[in-house]
C-alpha cells in the first residue's frame, strides 16, 4: 500500500513539473487551470497503466500520453511535441538510474531497501528533485537567448535550491538506512521532505510568474514607444493630408471652372477622367483628431487597394479625452484585425469595414463590423485574430485593446456570425 501511495505521489510531482516547465517554454492553448486538470488526468491514466507492471506497455503509454498532452494543451508543433515527450521520459529514466547508481556505488549502500515509508518517500524525492533539475536545465537551454539577455540570476538561485534539496534528501536516506529510526522520526522526515519538494515547486512557480511579468513589462514598454512613434507619424500624415486636401479643393475648383468654360466634349471627358483618376473629390478628413485622421487615412488607402468598402462615421467630440497613444493602440488594433479579416474574404459577396464612433452623455460607443470568411480563433475564452504571428506575440492586439478599455473603465464584446465579425466597445469618459 505504501509503495502504491508513493508512486501516486511521484506521478503528481511529475504532472506539476510538466505543467510548470512547459509553461516556461510555450503558451497555453487554454486557461491554466484547464491545462493543469488535463495534465493531472493524463498522469492518472499513466498511473493506472503503471499498476499493470508491464514495462513495455508503460513506456509506450507514457510517451504517447506526453505527446498528446503537449500537442493539445500548448502552442507547440506535433514534431516538437514528440521531441519533448521523448526528452521528458528520458530525463525521468535517467534521474532514477542516477539516484540508484549514486546510492549503491558512490555512497556505498549495496542494497537499497524500499520496504518502509521513509525510505520509499526519500528515494522518490531524490529521483524527482534530480528530474526537476534536469528538466529545468533543458528549459534554460531552450530559453537561452531570453535568459542571457535578461541578466537575471533567479534561475541560478533556483538551481542552487534544487541542489540543496537533493543533498538534504540524500542525507535523509543515508540516515534512514544506517540508523534505526522510530515512527515519530519517520513522520517528521516524510513531512519535511514533502514540504521541501512543495517549496521547490513554489519557488519555480514564483520564478515563472516573475519572468512572465518582466517579459510583459518589457513588451508593454516597447509597444508604448511604438505607439508614441505611430502617433507622431499619424499626426504628420494628417498634416500632409490637409495640404493635399487644400490642393484637391483648389484643383477641383479650377477643373470645374474649366469644364464650365470649355465646350469641347473631348476636353471635358479628359478633365473628368483626371478628377476620377486622382481621387480629387475624395474626402480625407474623418474627425477633429489629427492622429485618428492619419490612422484612418492609411487604412482608407489600404482598403481602396484591396477593393474593401470602408465606411467611417465618427461623431464630433467622441474621442477628445482619449490620449493620442491610446487612440493609436485602440483604433490601430481594431482596424488592423478588421482589415486582415476583410482582405481574405474572396469567396463571399462583398468585402467591407464599417467603423462607427458615437457618444451618449459620458459614454463613448465604438463599433466595428467587418466581413470575415475565416472564423477567429478562441484561446482562453477570448477571440484571437487570424493574422499570422509568432507564438509569443499571438493575441497581443486584443491584449492591447483590453488594456485601453480597462484604462477608461469600459467593456467590450466580440461576436462572429456566419461571415461577419463585430467588436463593440464602451468607454466611460
Helices 396-407 and 183-261: crossing angle in degrees, nearest 10, is 90
CATH architecture of 286-429: 2-Layer Sandwich (3.30)
- Delimit the domains of the chain by residue range: 2-216, 286-429
Taking 70 as the threshold, does the pLDDT of residue 256 lie above it?
no
The pLDDT value recorded for residue 255 is 65
Nine-digit cell string for 78: 506535433
The pLDDT value recorded for residue 367 is 94
Q: In angstroms, how far is the first alpha carbon of the chain from the final one?
A: 64
In tens, the pLDDT along 338-360 reads 999 898 887 656 789 999 999 88
Window from 19-23, 237-241, 279-283, 291-295 with minimum mean pLDDT: 279-283
In tens, the pLDDT along 168-226 reads 665 665 565 556 656 676 667 667 766 776 776 677 677 667 767 777 777 777 777 77
Distance (Å, rounded) from C-alpha 351 to C-alpha 346?
A: 8
Please name the residue that has the C-alpha cell 459577396: 349
Report the predicted TM-score, pTM, of the whole model to 2 decimal places. 0.44
The pLDDT value recorded for residue 391 is 43
Distance (Å, rounded) from C-alpha 154 to C-alpha 309?
A: 53
In the chain, count of helices (H) and strands (E)?
12, 7
What average pLDDT does the structure give for the chain? 76
Taking 60 as the threshold, does the pLDDT of residue 58 lie above it?
yes
Amino acid at each position: 500500500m505504501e509503495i502504491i501511495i508513493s508512486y501516486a505521489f511521484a506521478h503528481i510531482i511529475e504532472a506539476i513539473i510538466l505543467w510548470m516547465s512547459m509553461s516556461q517554454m510555450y503558451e497555453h492553448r487554454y486557461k491554466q487551470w484547464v491545462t493543469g486538470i488535463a495534465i493531472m488526468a493524463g498522469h492518472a491514466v499513466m498511473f493506472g497503466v503503471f499498476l499493470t507492471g508491464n514495462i513495455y506497455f508503460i513506456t509506450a503509454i507514457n510517451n504517447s500520453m506526453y505527446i498528446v498532452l503537449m500537442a493539445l494543451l500548448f502552442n507547440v508543433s506535433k514534431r516538437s511535441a514528440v521531441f519533448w515527450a521523448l526528452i521528458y521520459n528520458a530525463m525521468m529514466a535517467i534521474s532514477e538510474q542516477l539516484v540508484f547508481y549514486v546510492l549503491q556505488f558512490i555512497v556505498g549502500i549495496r542494497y537499497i531497501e524500499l520496504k518502509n515509508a521513509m525510505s520509499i518517500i526519500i528515494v522518490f524525492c531524490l529521483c524527482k528533485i534530480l528530474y526537476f533539475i534536469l528538466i529545468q536545465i533543458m528549459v534554460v537551454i531552450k530559453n537561452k537567448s531570453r535568459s542571457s539577455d535578461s541578466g537575471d540570476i533567479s534561475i541560478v538561485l533556483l538551481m542552487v535550491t534544487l541542489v540543496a534539496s537533493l543533498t538534504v534528501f540524500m542525507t535523509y536516506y543515508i540516515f534512514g538506512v544506517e540508523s534505526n529510526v522510530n515512527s515519530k522520526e519517520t513522520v517528521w522526515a516524510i513531512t519535511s521532505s514533502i514540504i521541501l519538494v512543495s517549496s521547490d515547486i513554489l519557488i519555480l512557480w514564483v520564478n515563472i510568474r516573475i519572468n512572465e511579468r518582466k517579459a510583459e513589462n518589457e513588451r508593454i514598454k516597447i509597444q508604448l514607444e511604438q505607439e508614441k512613434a505611430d502617433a507622431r507619424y499619424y499626426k504628420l500624415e494628417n498634416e500632409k493630408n490637409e495640404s493635399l486636401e487644400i490642393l484637391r479643393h483648389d484643383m477641383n475648383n479650377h477643373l470645374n471652372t474649366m469644364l464650365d468654360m470649355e465646350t469641347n466634349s473631348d476636353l471635358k471627358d479628359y478633365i473628368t477622367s483626371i478628377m476620377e483618376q486622382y481621387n480629387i473629390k475624395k474626402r480625407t478628413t474623418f474627425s477633429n483628431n489629427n492622429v485618428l485622421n492619419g490612422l484612418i487615412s492609411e487604412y482608407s488607402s489600404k482598403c481602396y487597394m484591396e477593393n474593401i468598402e470602408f465606411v467611417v462615421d465618427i461623431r464630433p467630440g467622441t474621442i477628445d479625452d482619449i490620449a493620442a497613444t491610446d487612440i493609436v493602440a485602440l483604433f490601430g488594433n481594431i482596424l488592423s484585425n478588421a482589415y486582415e479579416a476583410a482582405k481574405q474574404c474572396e469567396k463571399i459577396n462583398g468585402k467591407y469595414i464599417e467603423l462607427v464612433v458615437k457618444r451618449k452623455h459620458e459614454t463613448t460607443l465604438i463599433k466595428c463590423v467587418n466581413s470575415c470568411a475565416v472564423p477567429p480563433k478562441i484561446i482562453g475564452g477570448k477571440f484571437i485574430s487570424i493574422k499570422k504571428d509568432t507564438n509569443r506575440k499571438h493575441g497581443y492586439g486584443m491584449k492591447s485593446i483590453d488594456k485601453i478599455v480597462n484604462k477608461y473603465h469600459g467593456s467590450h464584446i466580440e461576436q462572429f456570425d456566419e461571415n461577419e465579425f463585430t467588436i463593440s466597445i464602451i468607454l466611460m469618459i
